Each structure stands twice: as structure tokens, then as C-alpha cells.
Amino acid sequence: MCVGLGAVATTFIAGVLAVRKGISSPIGSVTQMGTIRLGKRTEGRSPLVKDFVPLAGLNDIVFGGWDIFEDNCYESAKHAGVLEKDLLEQIRPELEAIKPWKAVFDRQYVKRLDGPNVKKGKNKRDLAEQLREDIRTFKKEHNLSRLVMIWCGSTEIFLTETPAHQSIEAFEKGMEENDPSIPSSMIYTYAALMEGVPYANGAPNLSVDVPAMMDLAHKNQVPITGKDFKTGQTLIKTVIAPGLKARLLGVQGWYSTNILGNRDGEVLDDPESFKTKEESKKSVLDYILQPDLTKKAGTTSTSSAGSVIRCS
């Protein structure tokens, strides 16, 4: 289940469908192409991860998801413009069959976005219950044994921990009182964890990084993971930065930009959403480069559209 059926989610879904049809290879998929070394290197035992670990096969996966827009996955993938039209046409019926469920959404947390496909409820807890119902219905309709929820939705405004995040009880009370420190993403997280569904956070949102969610995950024995996907510009940063750091070269500036230019870019034009992204991206480089080491040359740390880091 994907929360948000935009560029990332539809590219992922279309990719799996194309591989299933034999018209694409699973490039970039650790589970499908990766191997795992067993024993010593000299033993030459390196089975494919998918043969070694009991993972669901690509043919066994069923996709579903929520979005504030009513576009089905074909329309949304076309709009995102990531994949070629020819490829999308070959999997069009399968993509068209995936239609978004009504979302839990509040513009307060994503200022540059608005759409019609949104749930109504008497408070945030009621909305969480509606999401739980969606999860149960999806599971039943497709006779599924295991579910995973991945946040592929927009980056929300920058939030920090408040008393409502400190325990499961405080969080539930907070939802009943429509506490403003509980954004839409946390309502999805709560619903997933209550249903025993693992939750992966693909945005830099606070979502699972608060005691209430961690306690709930422990209590229900459900895995939680993630902080932004770290698959695009951040992946490249984390490849290049260790090389620069190893030679203590220091970095004068680091500029990166969203070339996809999709709704994600529009959302991140709002300074409050951008701050969430910036804090997460900046911390990656700060952690790797240790700017204090080369500080004497005059450290500044600045940011503008995209992300700029000056560490020496």
C-alpha cells in the first residue's frame, strides 16, 4: 500500500508490472538482482537474495494506495513523466486498475497542494479508524497474507516533538482533540501499526520518529523504517562525500536540485516543507563530512532552493 500515488509510487508500481510482463529488468532492485555472499569470498557461494530469503515473489504482490487526486496509476504515471509513454502503454490496463482510495489530508501540513479525494471525519482518530478499515478491506478483498505501507506522499511542514507524541495514550487523546502537532502522515502510521502493518517512511516527515510510534511498533511487534528514500540526489551525495572526506579536501559548496520538477518540487517550494527536506539532507552531509575538521578555512552552512552546504 502506497500513501500517495505520485511519481515515486507509480514508477515503482509500473516497474514491477513491467518486470512481471518480461518487458523490463529489475535494475536497481537489491532483492531481485542482488546476491548475498555466504562464507569466505574464496568459497564462491553467492546466491541471489531472492533465492536465499523467503520474500514474496513479484507475481504475488498486489498494489493499492491513497491519494488526494482521483487519477488512476496510469494517469498519474503519465502526469509524472518519469517513464516512457511506450512502456506505460504496455502495462496500461494493470495501471488503470489501481485507483486511489480517499486520503487523509490537511493543507495545514502541505500548503502547496489541494485535491478532492479526501476523507471527512469527526476528528483525527475517526480518520485513523477509516484508514484501518481501508487496510482491512484491501486485505480481505485480495486475500492477502502480509501488507506493507510505504509513505510515498508529499513532504510535510517541519515539525518537532510535542507532549502528544510522548506516549500511545497521549497520541490517541491528541487525535481525539485534533492536536495540530499530529499531521496526516502520523495518522497513516498509527493506522498501519494498529493493523500490524510494517511502515516505511519515504519522506523526511517526523512520522515514525517519535516515542508514541516507536512504543506502538514495539507493542505490536511491527517493523518501522525510513527517513526519506535517499535514492536520488542523497544517494549520489553519500557516494561522493565519503571520498572527499577521506582525503580531507573540504567542500566549499554543494548544490543539488530536483530535476523531476513534479508536484514534489511544487510542494518543496513552500519554505516550511523545504525545511523538513533540508534538515534531513543537510544532516547526511554534515555527518559524513564533519565540517568542523576543515572549519578554519571559514565554515558557513547555507541553504537556498535546492540545497547548498558550505563546510570549508
Ligand X SMILES: NC(=O)c1ccc[n+]([C@@H]2O[C@H](COP(=O)([O-])OP(=O)(O)OC[C@H]3O[C@@H](n4cnc5c(N)ncnc54)[C@H](O)[C@@H]3O)[C@@H](O)[C@H]2O)c1
Residues that bind ligand X (CB under 6 A): 3-9, 66-69, 80, 103-105, 110, 113, 115, 152-155, 184, 202-203, 228-229, 231-232, 260, 262-264
Give the residue with the Cβ less far from ligand X, 139 or 263. Answer: 263
* Closest to 189 (Cα-Cα) out of 235, 149, 135, 152: 149
Residue number of the CB atom closest to ligand X:
6
Can you read off the three cell numbers belonging to residue 149?
Answer: 505501507
Give the residue with the Cβ less far from ligand X, 106 or 286. Answer: 106
Can you read off the three cell numbers belonging to residue 38?
Answer: 555466504
CB of residue 219 vs ligand X: minimum separation in angstroms?
A: 25
CB of residue 124 vs ligand X: minimum separation in angstroms?
A: 12
Give the residue with the Cβ less far from ligand X, 1 or 294. Answer: 1
CB of residue 185 vs ligand X: minimum separation in angstroms?
A: 7
CB of residue 45 vs ligand X: minimum separation in angstroms?
A: 34
CB of residue 8 vs ligand X: minimum separation in angstroms?
A: 3
Give the residue with the Cβ less far from ligand X, 211 or 232. Answer: 232
Give the residue with the Cβ less far from ligand X, 230 or 310. Answer: 230
Give the residue with the Cβ less far from ligand X, 70 or 161. Answer: 70
